[in-house]
Structures are given as structure tokens and as C-alpha cells.
Amino acid sequence: MSASIVLKNISAGYSSKAVLHDISISIEQGEMVGLLGPNGSGKTTLLMALSGIRKPLKGSVTLHGTNLLQVPPKQRAAQIASVPQYTGETPDIEALSLVLMGRYPYISPLGGYSTEDTEIALRCMQATGTDAFAYKSARELSGGEFQRVLIARALAQQTSTLLLDEATSGLDVARSLEIFDLLKQRHTTGTTVIAAIHDINLAALYCSRLIFLKHGRIVQDGTVEDVFTDEKLTQIYETPIHTFSHPVTGAPQAFFTPGSALR
């Protein structure tokens, strides 16, 4: 595999205040990476730097060898798709129209959406279980339904890289597993998936590599087997954590001790 995204000595934040400090990461094409860490550790800011939305205060991000900020937005959108955190705000447009926005990189200057664009959008809605309300206003959808529409929009971009920021936080357990099964399937066909995930057990079940952030710095980066341990998780989250093997997959899973944070 070759590196698709490289961050070198990145510091990033808001105005002149850095949230991330001297981050260096190389993401290989086709990896499925989980970004984890306590609240405020910099996961969202890192994804914004990876997508080109937030310009680093220092350092560089390269996409397939080219400085990300030098890649035109439309060309960048054909290579990287992002699913942001759900903020509770929804536009008053049909769900299908929202998903069709993912076809923006492929629209010619003189034309609108093609029949193929619509077919691709509907297939992505079917894959995310949102095709039943394709013609409903997004404002009529629940938070979980709207989040799945945003995932369908990202899939409709047909990019080689997917960035997801707590993309399943508003979904129930079954829907979350369905989405991660879908992401895993894309990963196995060569798509790079980088996801900030609040549920560390879900990350351990699906990701091949875990990157833990704390106070804006990388504190662990490696395979699930190497970094998902009692000692390392306890240190990162500052509460006693014990890991055991999943009874079906064998992946490590974390268990917490009730009341331990009060001691």
C-alpha cells in the first residue's frame, strides 16, 4: 500500500489558539482507522485538517503527494468525502436532493444532475436504509434518519477516502452496526476510512488501526491488539478499564467499573 494522506508536524485550531500540537500521521490507502480519545482531545479538528476545511496553523497535509490546500475544492471533493457531527440543524429540502449534493464533483459547468447521478444517489440511500423517505423534507426526519442521509451523501461522492465525525452517534445499536458493516465493506474494496468514534468497543470491532488523542496530541497509534489494553486505556481515559475478548469475533472489548470515577 502507498500513503494516501500524510500529516507532518501539524498544529491546528481556531484563530491563533492551537487544539492540535505537532501531529504527524501517515494514512495508507485502504486503511480503516479509528480516532479515539476523551472529549476535547482534538478529533474533530484533526478531521477538519484532513479534509482541508481547516488550514493548519503550521505543518502540512498532503493528499497523494500533493499539498491538500493546493488541490482545487471540486477535485478534492472527488477524492475525500466527509460526514460531520449532527448539530441538530436540518435544511428544508428533500432528502434525495441532499444526497445528490454528493454528486457535485461530477457535474459539468453547463448541466445539472444526470439520470446516472440520481440512480447513484438512490442506491446509496438504499444502502443506508434511507430510500423510503427520499422525497421527504429533511426536517421531517429524526436525528438518526438525517445522519444516515448524510452518510448516503458521502457515499454518493464515490471517493477513495471517507472521513466520519461521530457519524453513528445518533443511531441505535442495530443501525450503527449496519453503517459500520457498510463502511467495512467499502474498506475491503480499497476505500480509506477514517472515523472519529465515541464508542471504543465499536472501534475495536471494526477498525484495523486505532489512533488515540489526548490534549491535542497522539498518545497511542497502532493495531487494535497493540493499543487496546487495560493499562493504555486506563491511562488515556483516567478510569479503571478491563479488556476481554469478544465471544464471537475475539476482538478486545472494554469494560468499565461503576463508581470508579468517584474514588
**Over the stretch 136-159, which tens digit does the pLDDT of each residue have?**
999 999 888 998 999 999 999 999
Query: What is the number of helices (H) and of strands (E) in the chain?
Result: 9, 12
Measure the CA–CA gap between 71 and 51, rounded to whole angstroms: 11
What are the sequence ranges of the domains in the chain? 1-30+38-73+199-263
**Over the stretch 197-246, which tens digit does the pLDDT of each residue have?**
999 999 999 999 999 999 999 999 999 999 999 999 999 999 999 999 99
With a CB cutoff of 8 Å and minimum separation 6, the contacts of 108 are none
115 HSE (CA, 13 A, CB side)? 0
* Angle CA 60–61–64, to nearest 5: 135
Considering only 51-55, 107-111, 216-220, which range has the smallest mean pLDDT? 107-111
User: Domain 1-30+38-73+199-263 belongs to what topology?
Assistant: Rossmann fold (3.40.50)
3-state secondary structure of 5: strand
